């Protein structure tokens, strides 16, 4: 007997639909990455900008103590911001997913609107909020909570607060599908069997969303790692991350080969740490 599908033409539309995103990934990611990798071996000439070559002096400078410290600062800031985002986003998203759908929509629209804001707007808005002349401290003085207005920017807390603000909507939106699909009857059954809310959370809720938490942490980590304007505007020089120095080398010092080498080093460090975190998380599932 012939199979019903024999003789029927194959549906090739999925292949055509995948062609466009594949071409865009090739043109917008793979090709620029190859150009940046090749540029990192070019030789800089003071008068002629740079010339094609195959030298390792850019990577020698990239592995200097100063830039390795900047990589460490970048990874530390990204990890702290991602961890804080998870601490805030998880309970918020959990209770948001328990609301009726009509009440969830305004919060989701607000989160998407925050994601649409430019990093430039967020950086300078936080700079104004934390400034001495027109910031929150003036309101606290008016409320008799401070004796005189103070400036909280630039500083590490100001920089970290802005990074958490810009990353928190992303964390919530990534967590939302997993938490909205979480079966409420599991926690109800655990409560019926005598488990406390804390025990139910760690033994029922957390194991079901552990992979989503890990994915959210990695996405926010990479998102924060690529930020350069917020650390530059709200952070002090000792808080500046590697993207700030990459921008400085590319735009101010016109040293594109060194900037490309630093970008490749940051890419490898972030990809390696993300893969390690994902592997460790899966091994504990």
Q: What is the pLDDT of residues 65-101, one digit of tens each?
A: 999 999 999 999 999 999 999 999 998 998 898 888 8
**Nearest CA to 157 among 255, 235, 101?**
235
Please report the domains of the chain, with CATH numbers, ordered by start residue: 58-283 (1.10.3720.10)
Could you tell me how many helices (H) and strands (E) the chain has, helices first? Answer: 14, 2
CA gap 7, 1 in Å, rounded:
13
Contacts of residue 118, defined as CB under 8 A and 6 or more positions apart, other chains included, come to none
Q: What is the pLDDT of residues 126-162, one digit of tens each?
A: 999 988 887 788 888 888 888 888 888 888 999 999 9
Q: What is the pLDDT of residues 96-108, one digit of tens each?
A: 988 888 888 898 8
The chain-wide mean pLDDT, for the chain, equals 85
Residue 3 has pLDDT above 60, yes or no: no
Predicted confidence at residue 40, as pLDDT, reads 92
């Amino acid at each position: 007997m012939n199979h019903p599908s024999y003789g029927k033409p194959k549906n090739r539309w999925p292949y055509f639909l995948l062609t466009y995103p594949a071409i865009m990934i090739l043109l917008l990611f793979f090709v620029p990455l190859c150009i940046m990798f090749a540029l990192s071996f070019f030789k800089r000439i003071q008068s002629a900008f740079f010339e094609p070559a195959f030298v390792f002096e850019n990577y020698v400078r990239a592995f200097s103590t100063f830039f390795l410290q900047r990589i460490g600062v970048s990874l530390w800031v990204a990890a702290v911001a991602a961890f804080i985002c998870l601490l805030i986003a998880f309970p918020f998203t959990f209770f948001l997913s328990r609301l009726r759908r009509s009440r969830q929509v305004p919060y989701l629209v607000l989160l998407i609107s925050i994601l649409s804001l430019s990093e430039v707007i967020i950086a300078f808005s936080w700079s104004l909020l934390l400034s001495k002349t027109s910031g929150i401290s003036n309101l606290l003085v008016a409320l008799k909570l401070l004796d005189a207005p103070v400036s909280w920017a630039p500083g590490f807390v100001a920089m970290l607060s802005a990074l958490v603000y810009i990353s928190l909507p992303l964390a919530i939106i990534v967590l939302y599908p997993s938490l909205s699909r979480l079966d409420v009857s599991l926690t109800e059954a655990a409560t019926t069997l005598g488990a406390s809310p804390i025990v139910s959370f760690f033994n029922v809720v957390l194991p079901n969303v552990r992979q989503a938490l890990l994915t959210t942490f990695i996405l926010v980590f990479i998102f924060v790692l690529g930020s350069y304007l917020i650390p530059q505007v709200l952070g002090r020089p000792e808080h500046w991350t590697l993207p700030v120095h990459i921008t400085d080398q590319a735009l101010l010092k016109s040293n594109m080969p060194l900037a490309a080498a630093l970008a490749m080093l940051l890419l490898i460090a972030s990809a390696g740490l993300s893969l390690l975190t994902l592997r460790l998380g899966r091994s504990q599932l």
